Amino acid sequence: MADVNRGNRPLSPHLQVYRPQLNSITSIFTRITGNALLVGMLLIVWWLLAAAIGPEAFATADGVLTSWFGDLVLFLSLWALWYHTLAGVQHLIWDFGHLMDIDSTDMLSWAVIGGSVVLTIVTVLVI
């Protein structure tokens, strides 16, 4: 039943009311990278299934995965994997109740961003 005294106010604050914070942006990117990893995995599964189906199917899948588009998707998937992993460690630290003040959360968020970029570049250079 609606509250008649409420007037024309929104039920809860909307996104346009708040200024995005680093912590909220990194949290949103954690969800985005988790879903994006599914796309990369689907491409790899397609490549493996094509290898099992036959040479023509494999040639098509391999052509896509070794093209500039495939390289870009796999590179971004690698970054997403590192980002999602480091963000998971960040949330694990918070689950134990550590580093939850604003300065520490900002520091951890920057560590997730910077660490994911550095680890992606190191992984590409090593492999």
The yes-or-no verdict on residue 123 having pLDDT over 80 is yes
**Residues 78, 119: Cα–Cα separation, whole Å:** 9
- What are the domain boundaries of the chain? 20-126
Provide the 10 A C-beta neighbour count for residue 27.
Answer: 15
* CA gap 76, 116 in Å, rounded: 11
Express each pLDDT in 52-110 by its tens digit.
999 999 999 999 999 999 999 999 999 999 999 999 999 999 999 999 999 999 999 99
Q: Is 98 annotated as a binding residue?
A: no
* Arithmetic mean of pLDDT, 30-53: 94
Q: Is the pTM of this model over 0.85?
A: no
Query: CA–CA separation, 2 vs 6, rounded Å?
Result: 8
Would the pLDDT of 3 be above 60? Answer: no
For residue 40, pLDDT beyond 80: yes
Q: Which CATH fold would you assign to the domain 20-126?
A: 3 helical TM bundles of succinate and fumarate reductases (1.20.1300)
